[in-house]
């Protein structure tokens, strides 16, 4: 593993380990993205996946929010996409403008079209290179987060052929072909394990698993189909790191929409942090998690369109509900989903400043 400059801000690592912190660390999902004019300038010259696959470009856009909000953000997240995993498995993915699979999986027979033995380090080595370059360029200012999609979410994209409002095709697989579905979910999970381990070896100091469509499953189907593959990832990553004598890093699970499953995730999924969306009260989430894991979240991203007074009011409320009148403990402040393209960057700055103010003891 490469050597890196010493870390100057370990707030998010301490919070992820369940420790009490002087204030809540804060970062934002999709913080390197379309709301920033500097990102749009890069995007005007380069395709989306071109940026992902070019380490220098991925490094540049990862660093953009860190530069703009220096001293306000407590983590960087590498610029990439969850759909690089299906690409590594042999599927074509286009962005026009949203993700599109020209040749999705229609029946279990189509699984034969996938690469049988995925050389993850070869296929996704460009992500590792971007992580190493970015970690060095950060010079210890903040930790760097790596990530992967969750098997159920990737499975959904691979079968639906893109985003979906009904999830009819992928859910039909669960009902018609439950065993074949579970086998494919495990196969995706194994690629995710290797991918996350590779990111950690390249320099990622935390990793997050995005189960963006977790809330589309009934609770018993989440437990049957999504949870086992999430467990396979958390246990698999830790086992592989231990086998190579590499220290474990905090792992975050974001099961968006599955707020009724917080207790289950905290108890059984095997992650250090569970990220929650905005449709649950933080105090209720803390009770559901039983204080067994750290929590991340959970401001509604649309609050950032509501003006400074609304942002301050809602951040204050969020902090009070997470903190319960005490010091910040095991809480990583974030939005309940990714920041959206129309947000004024200065309103994002105000959000970060309010988190600093209201999450402090």
Q: What's the mean pLDDT when you consider all of the chain?
A: 97
How much is the pLDDT for 325? 83
pLDDT digits (tens, 9 = 90+) for 33-82: 999 999 999 999 999 999 999 999 999 999 999 999 999 999 999 999 99
Rg of the chain over Cα atoms, rounded to whole angstroms, equals 19
Report the CATH architecture of 11-359. Alpha-Beta Barrel (3.20)
pLDDT tens sequence for the chain (361 residues)? 789 999 999 999 999 999 999 999 999 999 999 999 999 999 999 999 999 999 999 999 999 999 999 999 999 999 999 999 999 999 999 998 889 999 999 999 999 999 999 999 999 999 999 999 999 999 999 999 999 999 999 999 999 999 999 999 999 999 999 999 999 999 999 999 999 999 999 999 999 999 999 999 999 999 999 999 999 999 999 999 999 999 999 999 999 999 999 999 999 999 999 999 999 999 999 999 998 999 999 999 999 999 999 999 999 999 999 998 888 999 999 999 999 999 999 999 999 999 999 999 6
Beta carbons of 120 and 198 less than 8 angstroms apart: yes
Beta carbons of 340 and 297 less than 8 angstroms apart: no
Distance between CA atoms of residues 90 and 190, nearest Å:
15
Distance between CA atoms of residues 253 and 294, nearest Å:
10
The tokens describing 339, both together, are 């920041």
Beta carbons of 285 and 295 less than 8 angstroms apart: yes
How much is the pLDDT for 38? 98
The tokens describing 8, both together, are 């100057």
**17, 77, 211, 244 from 251: Cα distances, Å:** 10, 13, 13, 18
Catalytic positions, written as ranges: 30, 34, 43, 81, 157
**Cis status, amide bond into 306, omega within 30 of 0:** no
How much is the pLDDT for 361? 67
Strands (DSSP E) contained in the chain are 76-77, 94-95, 99-100, 144-149, 206-211, 251-255, 273-275, 294-299, 331-335
Beta carbons of 94 and 102 less than 8 angstroms apart: yes
Three-state SS annotation for 200-226? HHHCCCEEEEEECCHHHCCHHHHHHHH
How much is the pLDDT for 28? 98
Q: Where are the domains of the chain?
A: 11-359
């Amino acid at each position: 593993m490469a050597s890196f400059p010493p870390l100057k801000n370990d707030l998010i690592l301490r919070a992820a380990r369940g420790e009490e912190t002087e204030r809540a660390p804060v970062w934002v999902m999709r913080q390197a993205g379309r709301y920033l004019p500097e990102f749009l300038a890069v995007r005007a010259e380069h395709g989306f996946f071109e940026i992902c696959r070019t380490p220098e470009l991925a490094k540049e856009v990862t660093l953009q929010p860190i530069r703009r909000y220096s001293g306000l953000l407590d983590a960087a997240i590498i610029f990439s996409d969850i759909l690089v995993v299906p690409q590594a498995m042999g599927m074509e993915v286009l962005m026009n403008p949203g993700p599109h699979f020209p040749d999705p999986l229609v029946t279990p027979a189509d699984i034969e079209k996938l690469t049988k033995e995925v050389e993850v380090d070869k296929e996704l080595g460009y992500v590792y290179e971007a992580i190493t370059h970015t970690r060095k360029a950060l010079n210890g200012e903040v930790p760097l987060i790596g990530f992967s999609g969750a098997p159920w979410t990737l499975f959904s994209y691979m079968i639906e052929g893109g985003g979906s409002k009904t999830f009819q095709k992928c859910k039909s697989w669960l009902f018609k072909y439950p065993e074949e579905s579970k086998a494919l979910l495990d196969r995706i999970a194994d690629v995710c394990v290797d991918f996350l381990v590779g990111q950690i070896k390249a320099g990622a100091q935390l990793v997050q698993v995005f189960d963006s469509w977790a809330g589309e499953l009934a609770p018993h189907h989440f437990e049957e189909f999504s949870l086992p593959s999430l467990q396979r990832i958390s246990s698999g990553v830790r086992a592989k790191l231990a086998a190579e004598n590499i220290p474990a890093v905090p792992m975050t699970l974001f099961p968006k929409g599955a707020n009724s499953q917080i207790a289950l995730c905290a108890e059984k999924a095997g992650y250090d942090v569970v990220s929650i969306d905005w449709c649950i009260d933080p105090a209720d989430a803390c009770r559901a998690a039983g204080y067994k894991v750290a929590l991340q979240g959970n401001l509604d991203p649309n609050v950032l369109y509501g003006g400074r007074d609304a942002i301050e009011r809602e951040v204050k409320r969020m902090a009070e509900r997470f903190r319960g009148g005490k010091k910040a403990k095991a809480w990583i402040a974030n939005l309940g989903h990714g920041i959206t393209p129309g947000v004024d960057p200065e309103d994002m700055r105000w959000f970060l400043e309010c988190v600093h103010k209201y999450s402090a003891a």
